Amino acid sequence: MFGTKSFRQQFPIFQHHPNLVYLDSAATTQKPKMVIDGITNFYQKENANIHRGIYDLAAQTTQKYESVRQKVAEFIGAKHQSEIVYTSGTTASINLVAHSFLLPRLEQGDEVLVSAMEHHANLIPWQMACKQKGAHLRVIPIDQAGNIDLAAYKKMLSAKVKMVAVVHISNTLATINPIEAMIEMAHQKGIPILIDGAQSTAHSPIDVASLDCDFFTFSGHKIFGPTGIGVLYGKATHLAAMSPYQFGGDMIRTVTYQDATYAPAPQKFEAGTTNIAGVIGLGHAIDFLQQFDKKAIALFVKELGAYAREKLLSLNDLTIIGNAQHKTGIVSFVLNNVHPHDVATFLGTANIAIRAGHHCTQPLMDFYEIPATSRASFSIYNNRAEIDFLVDEIKGIQSFFAV
Ligand code: PMP
């Protein structure tokens, strides 16, 4: 049923662009009608600010906003809804942890570990914290195929390490990292670990309680929800110990001209009027996803990726970047003598939407000694016919540039 014509009808974008071959879901997913309608419905029938109003509309909206928190908690297996902080996205979630959790604990000479395949969002916040404190950011190596070197990681976990931050699924390489083992290894040394789940939450079953990670982050727009909303999961003990990152309305307990006391987590991290419609939309996105078996989604997307790889590998003068043992439905590739931007431009004229560039992983491009890749990424509305079309068009590009 995924990828079929009738399934695609749930996504209005394909009615407005009947010929669109959308292969850029790692950048953002398309939105199902029920999410779009849910947001429209909220603004048309339910709009009010939360937490402050006493009238019915405000009380109902507050109740709905908070019920989504419980929904998120269940969706990712958090023990308690107070461990769910609404943010504007993965980037904001990671910045919050770097600022409020790590910085106060970090001292000169300490170390923070990230992997060689991190998105800039899970690299620069730690880099900045290390620079401020005279600490060192160390990079867990990967092999040429894109597998994390677990033996090297184990050796790097010294008493100097104050934090590990690692991506669950690489947006560039498609690698599914062995986060269970990485979390366990960090914890054996008493080191907290954050998992960047931006690419995994849409199509991997996530259970933060059994994973036992300290923090987990994801973005609404990559799980069929709206932009501008995301989640930070943090263990209750960590969130309780962390100071707020932003200050203002809705995050306080008491305020005088001289001083303020703060609300408990998660409210102390949600200053000001938050993205209420975004939260409502996120709730609908989770309802949408919960209709399906997460394992079935993961398998479908993985199989599309494997099919695309197989077909692309049959072409000459094409190299796939990212050949890890465990991977999902993302394929990065480079063509000999054709720049990825030219590939994306040509494919764009055939209504095929792919991404070309460094994918916010510039150091990873340096590792592979390439400036950029073309990247096709798949989701539940894609199908094999679209991949066949992609491959045919790539053949066309190759013959055009061969002339
Ligand atoms: N991490 C990964 C692996 C990503 O793919 C992305 C988005 N491309 C991010 C972090 C950042 O997510 P956002 O832009 O939604 O904050």
In this prediction, residue 319 carries a pLDDT of 97
Whether 386 contacts 25, CB under 8 Å: no
Q: Rounded to an integer, what distance in angstroms lies between the CA atom of residue 353 and that of residue 24?
A: 6
Burial 29-54 (b: 16+ CB within 10 A, else e): bbbbebbbebbeebeeeeebbbbeee
Q: Residue 334: beta bridge partners?
A: 319
Burial 205-236 (b: 16+ CB within 10 A, else e): ebebeebebbbbbbbbbbbbbbbbbbbbbbbe
Q: How far separated are the first and last CA of the chain, in Å rounded?
A: 42
Cα–chain-centroid distance for residue 232? 11
Query: Which residues, in sequence order, are CB contacts of 163 under 8 Å at separation 6+?
Result: 101, 102, 105, 106, 112, 113, 126, 191, 192, 193, 194
Q: Which atom of ligand 1 is nearest to the CA of 360?
A: 8
Q: Rounded to an integer, what distance in angstroms lies between the CA atom of residue 110 and that of residue 174?
A: 31
In this prediction, residue 403 carries a pLDDT of 59
pLDDT above 70: residue 350: yes
Q: Rounded to an integer, what distance in angstroms lies between the CA atom of residue 392 and that of residue 272?
A: 51
What number is the average pLDDT over the span 373-384? 98
Measuring from atom 14 of ligand 1, which residue has the nearest CA? 91
Task: Give me the active site residues, please.
Answer: 360
The pick from 95, 97, 119 for probing ligand 1's pocket by mutation, whose C-beta has the most ligand atoms within 8 angstroms, reads 119
In this prediction, residue 172 carries a pLDDT of 98
Q: Residue 115: beta bridge partners?
A: 140
Q: Rounded to an integer, what distance in angstroms lies between the CA atom of residue 87 and that of residue 232?
A: 7
119 alpha carbon to ligand 1 midpoint, in Å? Answer: 7
Please write the tens of the pLDDT for every residue from 214-260: 999 999 999 999 999 999 999 999 999 999 999 999 899 999 999 99
pLDDT above 90: residue 51: no
Give me the phi and psi of 176, to 5 degrees please.
-95, 110
What number is the average pLDDT over the span 264-293? 97
DSSP at 221: G
Q: What is the dihedral of CA 155, 366, 179, 80, to 10 degrees?
A: 120
Chain-wide mean pLDDT for the chain? Answer: 97
pLDDT above 80: residue 277: yes
Can you list the domains of the chain with their CATH numbers?
5-23+294-402 (3.90.1150.10), 35-289 (3.40.640.10)
Q: Rounded to an integer, what distance in angstroms lies between the CA atom of residue 34 and that of residue 17?
A: 18
CA angle 343, 344, 348 (to 5 degrees): 120
Q: Which atom of ligand 1 is nearest to the CA of 93?
A: 16
Tokens of 113: 């570990």
7 alpha carbon to ligand 1 midpoint, in Å? Answer: 26
Tokens of 24: 């850029």
Q: Give the model's confidence band at 402: pLDDT under 50 very low, under 70 low, under 90 confident, else very high.
A: confident
Q: Which residues line ligand 1 (CB under 6 A)?
A: 89-91, 119, 121-122, 167, 171, 196, 198-199, 219, 360
Longest dimension (CA), the chain: 75
314 alpha carbon to ligand 1 midpoint, in Å? Answer: 31
In this prediction, residue 248 carries a pLDDT of 94
Please write the tens of the pLDDT for every residue from 292-336: 999 999 999 999 999 999 999 999 999 999 999 999 999 999 999
The pick from 88, 93, 199 for probing ligand 1's pocket by mutation, whose C-beta has the most ligand atoms within 8 angstroms, reads 199
Helix (H, G, I), strand (E, B) or coil at 216: strand
What number is the average pLDDT over the span 189-213? 97
In this prediction, residue 346 carries a pLDDT of 96
What number is the average pLDDT over the span 23-32? 98
pLDDT above 70: residue 185: yes
Q: Rounded to an integer, what distance in angstroms lies between the CA atom of residue 83 and that of residue 182?
A: 22
Please write the tens of the pLDDT for every residue from 79-107: 999 999 999 999 999 999 999 999 999 99
261 alpha carbon to ligand 1 midpoint, in Å? Answer: 33
